[in-house]
Amino acid sequence: MTERYDIAVIGGGNAALSAAMTAAEAGARVLILETAPKAYRGGNSRHTRNFRCMHRGPLGPLIDDYTEEEYLADLLQVTGGKTDEQLARLAIRTSKDCLSWMQDRGVRFQPPLSGTLSLARTNAFFMGGGKSLVNAYYRTAAKLGVDVLYEAAVTHLELQGDRIARVDYTHRSEGHSLSPKAVVVASGGFQADIDWLTRAWGPAAQNFLIRGTPYNRGAVLADLLDQGVESIGDADQCHAVAIDGRAPKYDGGIVTRLDCVPFSIVVNNNAERFYDEGEDVWPKRYAIWGRLVAAQPDQVGHAIIDAKSINLFMPSVFPPIKAGSLEDLAGKMGLRADKLRATVEKFNAACGDTSAFHPTELDGVATTGLNPPKTNWARPIAEPPFYGYSLRTGVTFTYLGLKVDDRAQCRTAEGPIQNLWAAGETMAGSILGQGYLAGFGMTVGTVFGRIAGAEAAKHADP
Amino acid sequence: MQTLDLIQEARRQAGICNACRYCEGYCSVFPSMHAGRAFSDGDIVQLANLCHNCRGCYYACQYTAPHEFDLNLPAALAEVRRDSWESFAWPQLLARRFHTHGGAVALVSVLGFALILWAIRGLGGNGDGFYATLSHTAMVAIFVPAFLLPSVSIGIGLRRYWRSVGGQRVRLSHLMTAFGKAVRMKDLAAGHGEGCNFEDEDRFSHARRYAHQAILYGFLLCFASTSAGTAMHYGFDLHAPYGFWSLPKLLGVPGGILLTIGCGWMAVLKRQSDPALGDVRAWGGEKAFVLLLGFAGLSGLLLYGLGQTPLMPALLALHLGAVLAFFLLTPFTKMAHGFYRSAALIRDAQRIDTADRKN
Ligand SMILES: Cc1cc2nc3c(=O)[nH]c(=O)nc-3n(C[C@H](O)[C@H](O)[C@H](O)COP(=O)(O)OP(=O)(O)OC[C@H]3O[C@@H](n4cnc5c(N)ncnc54)[C@H](O)[C@@H]3O)c2cc1C
Ligand code: SF4
Ligand code: SF4
């Protein structure tokens, strides 16, 4: 077994598959080690819906233009400048060719989903979502002769000098090793390891929900960092959004998203508001609410809405809690009724003229003299029935990762590791220091997966 | 499970899809689903009849078992669909006998053979060719009611369907849109035009679409052949047997071949597919129905080929018996799907039309 493979690819998501297909097309014998069982293969990639793609003129499902400069400016904005410009430009430029590369390997695209028209120019949507992308890639990889081992958890990469000498993994609870010529790490972040999250974040992390796969526990990342492989990013940096508090602990995915905040007031367990719910349009504020909720007692929030607003946002998977009076709603949500009424009345009294209300634009319908204010869409919560959603922090992925160069190669303080490359979430911190741009995760995985696969194949067969 | 449980389960799953929408491009079900927030029983029945069980949305779904959301929309809709046909069917006494009982389909077929044999024995013939075995009058006496009764039954079922899904007055434009889709079997190609995920898990393939097309066009050709024969008999006083270069034969022979191949192919595909992604309980009934239809086609061809041999009377009884059983069972078997699906497409055209007018 040990000598049969030129390259071991660790992980079974978008980045791993992009690397494996590229290497196999170059003639390398490739083995994918995926820790998940087949039914759960594909990591977080199975939950995705689109990737962000630069283009000049209409391309596939994409309309108009999305230039390199605009793309870069969008990235710089969300990261507050914490972007490695050279790697970012590499990802952006290559994204242009990714669309047809993906199509050639079985991915199909569809027009933007209803409710996401704002992304029609920048993001190409996968028909059927990320799991159908992953399925197509596994089929293509199989045709290229790539072997896949499911339920194969990599536990250790033996670093000897400037080379990975051995890959240790368990398969069906038995230990195995192999010594391929080259290794590609594409095993995602560590967000599913709650203990690690807790070390980085403090005890609050115990109450976080993990939006994606339970299998991204950072085992390989930790192992490599322990051996002095260079890292990038901080352990407490993660992408976290506010999701429905009833979501499963892991793998709830897209359907637990809640878009109701701009039309609600959000209170904590003490029935007190804590942030401006109307600060900006929701897609731009989506990602800060994970942290806001994480800072509240017990890491929960409660969005309170009344009858006139309930149909203004995308439905989520769980129906809202519904009650005829605020007191009843408070009872059902475990809040003190008198305090909730007081908060709502204070808010209602601060609302002014609501005639300019416009659900999809910054309408300037704001409160006066309230702290914190609500600066848009501020309408009194007055019309029964009343509705409530509980909010919790949902972690999408972590940023701490492997530092790579423009050839996706990993390094120690002494210099590059001759036969180790990394792609996808596990190295995305090399490009973005913080913040996130929708659809960039799949772009990074595809671009750097392809680079890592090509480099590893070149190394295996010089 | 009871009707309401089936609908409730489909509603639960539709609620998840509506929050997800990843499958929007696959078929007509999703755009229709995403147009609303809450689903009435009628909405669910309409969605179920729009679905053609291509299974694309199952293999693409990140929430299938073992995930706790346990999505299996193709199966949930298939069960509601079959249950809706059963609940709309008339007479109710027969409604729930055949979809889920392959044996009952076989039994009716045997009864069909027996009836024809009895007619041959009892009534005999008085003409040329087949009519020497069974007279034209006897055939008419058997097949006119066997055609009219199911037609009335289907009509009643469709009216009940239309009421349940809130259908409006039908305009020509609705029909054009709906039948345009049906004729090309647009949905069977899936949104990207590469077919279903049927016989080999998540691999897209046109096999099911082509098999279905062979059945549909084979059936229509056979039907046209019979109609041509009837017109020639009554309109032009041209009586069977007809030669190869006659209209009934030119339509019927290719029709029979297509029908036989299509049904055989479909039966093979069904065996390769995962039963858990369809209506598990209707598996046997559907299989029996496909075989009956294929047998009607095959026996017709054999009858044509061996019509001059001593096997003819036996083959005639088998063929006419199969056709008889097929007609009588139309309202109560998978055959009903063609009518309900067309109605669902018309209803969907109305929905799109109304939505367009609002914008
Ligand atoms: C709900 C949700 C929606 C998202 N939507 C989008 C979107 O629309 N567009 C976008 O660009 N990004 C989106 N993202 C982010 C995106 O999922 C990631 O950026 C991207 O999938 C990362 O790909 P990857 O291949 O690096 O990691 P993953 O796809 O997570 O793959 C990691 C793989 O490694 C395996 N693995 C882990 N540890 C081991 C081990 N020790 N041994 C062997 N295998 C191991 C895992 O099982 C998994 O297969 C979304 C994320 C979530 C959670
Ligand atoms: S079937 Fe699954 S992936 Fe498709 S829309 Fe429904 S929930 Fe989403
Ligand atoms: S099985 Fe096919 S037709 Fe039915 S809902 Fe799913 S994608 Fe649509």
Q: At A176, which CATH number? A: 3.50.50.60
Show which of A377, A394, A411 is a domain's final residue: A394
Q: Do A182 and A167 share a structural domain?
A: yes
Three-state SS for B135? coil
Quick check: is A235 in a domain?
no
Residue B188 has pLDDT above 70, yes or no: no
Burial class (CB in 10 A: 0-12, 13-18, 19+), B53: buried
Rounded CA separation A3/A166 (Å): 11
Put simply, whether the predicted model's pTM sits higher than 0.90 gets the answer: yes
Quote the pLDDT of residue B122.
81
The pLDDT-based confidence of B237 (bands split at 50, 70, 90) is confident
Domain that holds residue A341: 241-394
Residue A322 has pLDDT above 70, yes or no: yes
* Of A48, A12, A135, the residue nearest B59 (C-alpha): A135
Interface of B with A (CB under 8 A): 15-16, 18-26, 31, 34, 37, 56-57, 59-69, 191-192, 194, 202-203
What does the mean pLDDT of chain A come to? 95
HSE value, Cβ hemisphere, 13 Å, CA-based, for B279: 26
Quick check: is A217 in a domain?
no
**Alpha-carbon distances of A130 from A46, A209, B79, B323, rounded to whole Å:** 4, 20, 27, 47
Quick check: is A233 in a domain?
no
Candidates A125, A129, A319; nearest CB to B62: A129
- Residue that has been written with the tokens 């709906």 in this structure: B178
Q: Do A112 and A84 share a structural domain?
A: yes
Degrees, nearest 5: CA angle A192-A197-A201: 150
Quick check: is A201 in a domain?
no
The pLDDT-based confidence of A1 (bands split at 50, 70, 90) is very low
Q: Do A291 and A422 share a structural domain?
A: no
Neighbours of A312 (CB within 10 A): 15
Residue A2 has pLDDT above 60, yes or no: no
pLDDT digits (tens, 9 = 90+) for A398-453: 999 999 999 999 999 999 999 999 999 999 999 998 888 999 999 999 999 999 99
Show which of A394, A414, A438 is a domain's final residue: A394
Q: Do A164 and A89 share a structural domain?
A: yes
Quick check: is A336 in a domain?
yes
The ligand 1 atom nearest the CA atom of A15: 25
Rounded CA separation A107/A130 (Å): 9
Q: Do A155 and A36 share a structural domain?
A: yes
Q: Do A450 and A417 share a structural domain?
A: yes
Contacts of A329 (CB under 8 A, 6+ apart): A304, A321, A322, A323, A335, A340, A386, A387, A388
- The DSSP string of A118-144 is GGTTTEEEETT-HHHHHHHHHHHHHHT
Q: Is the ipTM of this complex over 0.85?
A: yes
Rounded CA separation B27/B100 (Å): 27
Between the CA atoms of B312, B315, B319 and B321, what dihedral angle is there, to the nearest 10 degrees?
110
Whichever domain contains A381, its CATH number is 3.90.700.10
Rounded CA separation B342/B359 (Å): 26
Contact (CB<8Å) A108/B194: yes
Quick check: is A247 in a domain?
yes
| C-alpha A416 to ligand 3 mean position (Å) | 49
The mean per-residue pLDDT over the stretch B289-311 comes to 93
| Contact list, A47 vs chain B (CB under 8 Å) | 62
Q: Do A305 and A407 share a structural domain?
A: no
What does the mean pLDDT of chain B come to? 91
- Residue that has been written with the tokens 């979501």 in this structure: A247
Q: Do A449 and A308 share a structural domain?
A: no
| C-alpha B73 to ligand 2 mean position (Å) | 8
In chain A, which residue's Cα lies nearest the Cα of B66?
A: A39
| C-alpha B248 to ligand 2 mean position (Å) | 48
- Report how many helices (DSSP H) and strands (DSSP E) chain A contains, helices first: 11, 20
Query: B235 is written with which tokens?
Result: 């309109």
Quote the pLDDT of residue B359.
66
Task: Measure A191 CA to nearest chain B CA, in Å.
Answer: 19
% of chain B exceeding 90 in pLDDT: 66
* Of B314, B249, B260, B316, the residue nearest B290 (C-alpha): B260
**Alpha helix positions (H), chain B:** 3-20, 29-33, 41-50, 56-59, 73-88, 92-95, 102-123, 136-164, 172-184, 207-235, 247-272, 283-305, 312-329, 336-358
Contacts of A136 (CB under 8 A, 6+ apart): A105, A106, A107, A108
| Contact list, B16 vs chain A (CB under 8 Å) | 255, 317
pLDDT digits (tens, 9 = 90+) for B31-73: 999 988 889 999 999 999 999 999 999 999 999 999 999 999 9
Contact (CB<8Å) B22/A129: yes
Cα Rg of chain A, angstroms: 23
* Of B345, B15, B336, the residue nearest B185 (C-alpha): B345
Rounded CA separation A148/A5 (Å): 12
Q: Do A291 and A155 share a structural domain?
A: no
Rounded CA separation A345/A338 (Å): 10
Rounded CA separation A61/A55 (Å): 11
Q: Do A294 and A153 share a structural domain?
A: no
Which residues are paired to A265 by β-bridges? A304
Residue A278 has pLDDT above 80, yes or no: yes
Burial class (CB in 10 A: 0-12, 13-18, 19+), A160: exposed
* Of A200, A98, A217, A89, the residue nearest A153 (C-alpha): A217
Least confident of A183-187, A223-227, B113-117: B113-117
Task: Measure B24 CA to nearest chain A CA, in Å.
Answer: 7
- Ligand 2 atom 7: residue of nearest CA: B17
The count of structural domains within chain A is 2
Quick check: is A446 in a domain?
yes
% of chain B exceeding 70 in pLDDT: 97
Show which of A359, A394, A429 is a domain's final residue: A394
- The DSSP string of B259-270 is HHHHHHHHHHHH
- The DSSP string of B229-249 is HHHHHHHS---SPP-TTSHHH
Q: Do A90 and A77 share a structural domain?
A: yes
CB contact at 8 A, A61 and A100: no
Quote the pLDDT of residue A3.
62
Q: Do A16 and A132 share a structural domain?
A: yes
Quick check: is A229 in a domain?
no
- The DSSP string of A399-451 is --EE-B-TT-EEEETTEEEEEEEE-GGGGGGGTBSS---TTHHHHHHHHHHHH
Degrees, nearest 5: CA angle B26-B30-B35: 145
